[in-house]
Structure 1
Amino acid sequence: MPYTPPRSSQPPADFALNLSPPPGSPHNRTELTPVSFLTRAALIAPNKLAISHPERGYQFTYAQWAARVLSLTFAIQSVPGFKAGDRVAVICPNAPLIADAHFGILAAGGIITPVNVRNTPKEVEYVLQHSGSTIILVDHQLTHLVPSPPPSGVAVVVSNDSGGQDPNDPYEAFLDRGYQAWQAAEEVQRKRGLGLSRSGWRLITTPTSEELPCALCYTSGTTGRPKGVITTHRGSYLAAIAGAFEAQFAADTVYLWVLPMFHACGWTYPWGVTAAMATHVTIRKVDNDVIWDALLNHGVTHYTGAPTVQIGITNHPKARKLDRIVKVSVAASAPTAALLAKMESLNLHPVHVYGATETYGPFTRRYSEPHWVDLDVDERARLMARQGHSFLVADECRVVRPVDPSRPEHSELVDVAQDGKEAGEIVMRGNIAMKEYYKDPAATSKIVINGWLHLGDIAVRHPGGEIQIMDRGKDIIISGGENISSLAVEQELAAHPDILECCVVARPHEKWGERGQAYIVLNAEGAKKHGKAAPGTREHEALVADLKKHCKSRMSGFAVPEWFDIVDELPKTSTGKVQKNVLRAKFAAAAKL
């Protein structure tokens, strides 16, 4: 039976699709908000497929989605006690609900607070309490993350992810109440004689200031409590434009949601894909079987994921060369030579980007150069590993050192030499830097110093102007006075033909202070050759000797890891980033025994 959207998602024949300016606004200025991307797409391409959710069998055109989001907007505004500036938490996988929320919450005047669904109930409870969220939109499979009973005065709306196909879906009932409020508001305008001039989206005004907060995204909290990053309508609008431009989104783009939308508001791609009037394809979890179904059957042209995610995708039984190029934004680290070759053989073409929650997601990318086509894959991987240059709307980032290292917070910053050798810290400022940490001026003052956002990553700048991270500040291994880049060691180690994934962290050493500890995941060929390679066995000793020989041919002796552990998998975040803090914690725990 064909899917028919509910009435809350049915656009009227005379659907007004532009926001109203606040009273008294000057004629030559409109406050920026990413909500306008949706109304513009629905106006220009009303019948274009906006969201496809193949797992649950429903979808929306842009006109239908605009109606659905307007129903959500009125539903939120109708919640007793809700007021502009309230935080609305969203606990949801990559289903249409969280895409709806990126527009409806902002249009209602609220601040979207997307919650990491991989967090424990205790961690989620902290985020809900710290944010002071007054409404919680939650997927039916994640209700265990909501405190029971919920805090007094907090409204909880559960979604069965039915798109209206389930008559008992509370979220759909919530949308229908919003639809009724929308219709009632239009009736009031008709009685006043305003008619079409105050209908549809014209009932909603743009923000009184584009500098108002619109999102509150929490960091991973790997070094303590997660911090809430406040970002604005203006920054989100500009970051979305930059993201769409740098990822080369267009009207024929079909974007597959592998990256969680709860992670830094999905890098602002919920807004950026919509700005391009492209199609969103949502999947509820990172399932490589489902991903390949989308790649093979749904015309996907773009997706995003860390190298660890790409490893799973490229090694899946369904993997085959696609009949078109699929552009893949890769963050956390660059693809190794082996992974790059594998991706390219499948027509998956990676672009390396870099950023943080504090920068609305990525704000730099590596731009390829024409001569790369003549290079072997190993050299191309080395060049791609650089983080590159800042995005279109961002100020060019700097790599700096303080004039007075003993007083860095009071010292003038000096740019390092553009020689690819002198190291310094990455700092940035401008349109897509966060506003502040929520309720935490002390933490804000530690990262925003003298007008610059200090990211804590150690990098060099090459003669071409592009930056390259040598390591995260906390991940550098200091051995016998030598600074060792764990990223550089990993890049070389990963070139070994038996390695699928690897990670290197600092481990205490009696003589040298620290030495490298490597964790290795073998690929299928390596596992077949070496078996489990359990510690103490001849297989393990032979493998370690081979790995050390491989490293010694590619790096200084002090950089070669001292220890090698063969593991089945590496601990990772929800976005596929390896959790080095978890691995380092093993040694900290052992030291206390």
Structure 2
Amino acid sequence: MAAFIPTPASIPPPNALLRLQDIPNAPPNWHPLSPLSFILRAAQIYPEKVALVHTDVQQPVMYTFSVWAQRIQNLAYALIKAGIRPGDRVGVIAPNSPMIADAHHGVLAARAVITPINTRLKPSEVEYILGHSQCRLLLVDYEYLHLVAGTKIPVIVTNDTGRAGDPYEDFLAEGRCFSQEKGWPGLEAEPDENAAAVLCYTSGTTEGCPNHAQRLVSGGSGERLRGAVSLREFIDARLGANLRSKNEPPDRILPMFHAAGWTFPWTNVFAFAKQVTLRTVNYTHIWNHFLHSGVTHYCAAPTVQIGIVNDPQARRPPQHITAIIAGAAPTAHLIAELEKTGIKPVHVYGLTETYGPFTRNYDDPSWENLLLEERARLMARQGHAFATAEAARVVYPIEGDAVSNGPLKDVPRDGKTVGEIVTRGNIVMKEYFRDPEATQKAFAGGSFHTGDLAVIHPNGSVAIMDRSKDIIISGGENASSLAIEQELASHPHVLEVSVVARNHIRWGERPMAFVVLHPQHAAKWKGRHHEFGKDMKEHAKKRLPGFACPEWVEVVPELPKTSTGKILKTELRKIVAKL
């Protein structure tokens, strides 16, 4: 990129003191945990190291840690000048870009609560979130102003230029002026590490509103509120994320609005990593960075991973790349394809209520001598909890009462008995905001209930079988739609597949598979989808018991998905209900 010069307000003064205001009367053996310490530490140790790269835009920018820290400081002062007080919610609507990266630190520096909002929502959904969260100010990217048209909440717009004259840059400059060069010591540190730090909303994948969530929009928007998250809890979530990457966090593909970017906005800074931000999931840009920018880590949902390995530019990169996969369970076939491309998959599992992943499928040395397909099946399990999380348990409720406050009973470690994944500890959310009833239900028995059905193997590794609503009961047998999808995805002509239950006169329910064909093989089956269905059923018979084999196979151009890439089985069930 051509030489970029940050705005004058972004240049820190000489010998800037990178420390927040001391907390009065704090004991010398304690300090409140906060991810703000990461950016201050990075700016002190590696001031000239590149921290943030935003190149795939008309006006590229690049910031070092010292410059970025100054911009974050400016944002904090600008928010305070705008009337933001401790505990106030600040909404952010933006793609991955410098502004939302700034906000994950700057809003906390103002002792406010960042509320990242999905850029792909409808205006009515955004309106509800703004009302429910009671946001006091909005930071909005120019492409998404239509989502807040008519709002009475103050809006700061960014044109994503990084140049003087951009409204966001002017806002930062006002903050610098307001600070009167008091710098970081002029900002109060949050004394309560349990104070709220972020408020998340996330797209749902089940009817109306997903499990353990209130209906936020009349008729069900698929949006659910995620609880207030504390500063201390983010530290623990960040450490867990850092450990899963062996202290080398990934570059950015995952949207930062999604579960606060799985806490990587803080993890990356903790490890002094250079972050590459992309406004969209553009496979040309992704592969350009893989092949020419030295990118070594990234994180993305399975649907994005499928696009990466099947892109025409896909080839073995010159450097080792690790892919963090979560958001939905990857199939063994996808894991195998990533490995063939030279990308090491690291499978993790979690929910927004746990700030993203809290388990990882850790490598086992005994897998090295296994065939690729067999190893990939083992890697598709959800694995064990992070070091910073309490063990992931699989339990069934006593006396069949799923919301009992009595003790939870673990299922046997036989890899067969199905129960629900529960967890507890520092990386579990604080609460469902303004919904004590939902919070109490989610924490029944003293643990957080995920709603995911799983088995636990003798080595303690968790393997998800399905969401409770997605189990197919056929002739009295429980068939896991996830397990069926894993096997169907191994068909060489399948790009994506999703399975739901369809009513059957004799068996009650039978699986129906919706399949997206691989582009390289779609032409072979053009006008012959019925024959492909027969071929798929024969493939299934070799891998699945009869009750789990799909009775119907429908070839579709694409699968319905949420804005974060999760397959919307609710929409598929609507299709099935009309058949």
Normalised by the length of structure 1, the TM-score is 0.92
**Equivalent residue number for residue 14 of structure 1:** 15
Distance in 2 of aligned mates of 1:572 and 1:419: 34
**Equivalent residue number for residue 475 of structure 1:** 470
Unaligned runs of 5+ in 1: 187-198, 534-538
Equivalent residue in structure 2 for 1:508, among 486, 503, 506? 503
- 2:400 alignment partner, SS class: coil
Distance in 2 of aligned mates of 1:574 and 1:257: 17
Distance in 1 of aligned mates of 2:503 and 2:406: 32
Equivalent residue in structure 2 for 1:128, among 100, 116, 130? 130
1:247 deviation in Å? 1.4
The answer to whether the aligner puts 1:73 opposite 2:71 as a matched pair is no
The answer to whether the aligner puts 1:159 opposite 2:141 as a matched pair is no
1:9 deviation in Å? 1.2
**Equivalent residue number for residue 193 of structure 1:** none
1:363-402 equivalences under 5 Å are 363-402=358-397
**Equivalent residue number for residue 236 of structure 2:** 238
The answer to whether the aligner puts 1:555 opposite 2:544 as a matched pair is yes
Equivalent residue in structure 2 for 1:208, among 191, 209, 221? 191
Amino acid at match of 1:496: H
Distance in 2 of aligned mates of 1:282 and 1:332: 19
Alpha carbons of structure 1 residues 221 and 321: separation in structure 2 relative to 1, 3 Å: closer
1:34 deviation in Å? 0.8
1:408 deviation in Å? 4.6
The answer to whether the aligner puts 1:31 opposite 2:32 as a matched pair is yes
Asked if structure 2 preserves the Cα contact closer than 8 Å seen for 1:337 and 1:377, the reply is no
1:331-370 equivalences under 5 Å are 331-370=326-365
1:414 deviation in Å? 0.9
Asked if structure 2 preserves the Cα contact closer than 8 Å seen for 1:246 and 1:392, the reply is no
Of the structure 1 ranges 113-122 and 578-587, higher mean CA displacement relative to structure 2 is found in 578-587
Asked if structure 2 preserves the Cα contact closer than 8 Å seen for 1:18 and 1:201, the reply is yes
**Equivalent residue number for residue 121 of structure 2:** 119
Equivalent residue in structure 2 for 1:570, among 542, 559, 562? 559
Alpha carbons of structure 1 residues 79 and 29: separation in structure 2 relative to 1, 3 Å: same
Asked if structure 2 preserves the Cα contact closer than 8 Å seen for 1:422 and 1:460, the reply is yes
The answer to whether the aligner puts 1:59 opposite 2:62 as a matched pair is yes
The answer to whether the aligner puts 1:328 opposite 2:331 as a matched pair is no
Distance in 1 of aligned mates of 2:305 and 2:62: 27
Equivalent residue in structure 1 for 2:167, among 165, 170, 174? 170
**Equivalent residue number for residue 104 of structure 2:** 102
1:406 deviation in Å? 4.4
Asked if structure 1 preserves the Cα contact closer than 8 Å seen for 2:239 and 2:267, the reply is yes
Amino acid at match of 2:85: K
**Equivalent residue number for residue 228 of structure 1:** 226
Of the structure 1 ranges 28-37 and 341-350, higher mean CA displacement relative to structure 2 is found in 341-350
Distance in 2 of aligned mates of 1:585 and 1:144: 30
1:487-526 equivalences under 5 Å are 487-526=482-521
Amino acid at match of 2:169: E
1:334 deviation in Å? 4.3
Asked if structure 1 preserves the Cα contact closer than 8 Å seen for 2:203 and 2:564, the reply is no
Asked if structure 2 preserves the Cα contact closer than 8 Å seen for 1:249 and 1:278, the reply is no
Equivalent residue in structure 2 for 1:543, among 532, 538, 556? 532
Distance in 2 of aligned mates of 1:407 and 1:456: 10
Amino acid at match of 1:143: L
- 2:190 alignment partner, SS class: coil
- 1:344 alignment partner, SS class: helix
Distance in 2 of aligned mates of 1:407 and 1:299: 49
Of the structure 1 ranges 348-357 and 52-61, higher mean CA displacement relative to structure 2 is found in 52-61
Asked if structure 2 preserves the Cα contact closer than 8 Å seen for 1:489 and 1:559, the reply is yes
Asked if structure 1 preserves the Cα contact closer than 8 Å seen for 2:226 and 2:353, the reply is no
Alpha carbons of structure 1 residues 439 and 582: separation in structure 2 relative to 1, 3 Å: same
Asked if structure 1 preserves the Cα contact closer than 8 Å seen for 2:333 and 2:486, the reply is no
Asked if structure 1 preserves the Cα contact closer than 8 Å seen for 2:118 and 2:202, the reply is no
Q: How far does the alpha carbon of each residue in 1:167-198 deviate from its partner, in whole angstroms, 9 at most, with x for none? A: 3311000000001012x2x4xxxxxxxxxxxx
1:316 deviation in Å? 1.3
Normalised by the length of structure 2, the TM-score is 0.94
Asked if structure 2 preserves the Cα contact closer than 8 Å seen for 1:235 and 1:432, the reply is yes
Distance in 1 of aligned mates of 2:130 and 2:506: 46
Amino acid at match of 1:4: I
Asked if structure 1 preserves the Cα contact closer than 8 Å seen for 2:332 and 2:379, the reply is no
- 1:425 alignment partner, SS class: strand
**Equivalent residue number for residue 192 of structure 1:** none
Equivalent residue in structure 2 for 1:314, among 309, 316, 322? 309
Alpha carbons of structure 1 residues 525 and 285: separation in structure 2 relative to 1, 3 Å: closer
**Equivalent residue number for residue 91 of structure 1:** 93
Q: How far does the alpha carbon of each residue in 1:497-549 deviate from its partner, in whole angstroms, 9 at most, with x for none? A: 11111000122233332221110011134312211x4xxxxx23321111111
Distance in 1 of aligned mates of 2:392 and 2:329: 19
1:417 deviation in Å? 0.7
Percentage identity across paired residues of the two chains: 48
- 1:362 alignment partner, SS class: strand
Distance in 2 of aligned mates of 1:344 and 1:447: 37
- 2:156 alignment partner, SS class: strand
**Equivalent residue number for residue 412 of structure 1:** 407
1:449-488 equivalences under 5 Å are 449-488=444-483
Asked if structure 2 preserves the Cα contact closer than 8 Å seen for 1:49 and 1:62, the reply is yes
Alpha carbons of structure 1 residues 74 and 425: separation in structure 2 relative to 1, 3 Å: same
Distance in 2 of aligned mates of 1:261 and 1:47: 25
1:411 deviation in Å? 3.8
Asked if structure 1 preserves the Cα contact closer than 8 Å seen for 2:481 and 2:499, the reply is yes
Of the structure 1 ranges 385-394 and 517-526, higher mean CA displacement relative to structure 2 is found in 517-526
Alpha carbons of structure 1 residues 428 and 102: separation in structure 2 relative to 1, 3 Å: same
Amino acid at match of 2:137: I
Amino acid at match of 1:159: T
Of the structure 1 ranges 108-117 and 219-228, higher mean CA displacement relative to structure 2 is found in 219-228
User: How many residues of Structure 1 are paired with residues of Structure 2 in the alignment?
Assistant: 561
Of the structure 1 ranges 257-266 and 295-304, higher mean CA displacement relative to structure 2 is found in 295-304
Of the structure 1 ranges 341-350 and 70-79, higher mean CA displacement relative to structure 2 is found in 341-350
Alpha carbons of structure 1 residues 412 and 451: separation in structure 2 relative to 1, 3 Å: closer
Distance in 1 of aligned mates of 2:506 and 2:136: 55
Unaligned runs of 5+ in 2: 210-215, 217-223
1:141-156 equivalences under 5 Å are 141-148=143-150, 150-151=151-152, 154-156=153-155
Distance in 1 of aligned mates of 2:401 and 2:269: 48
- RMSD, aligned α-carbons: 1.5
1:467 deviation in Å? 0.6
Asked if structure 1 preserves the Cα contact closer than 8 Å seen for 2:199 and 2:227, the reply is yes
Alpha carbons of structure 1 residues 376 and 334: separation in structure 2 relative to 1, 3 Å: farther
1:11 deviation in Å? 1.2
Distance in 2 of aligned mates of 1:99 and 1:406: 43
Amino acid at match of 1:37: F
Distance in 2 of aligned mates of 1:406 and 1:330: 33
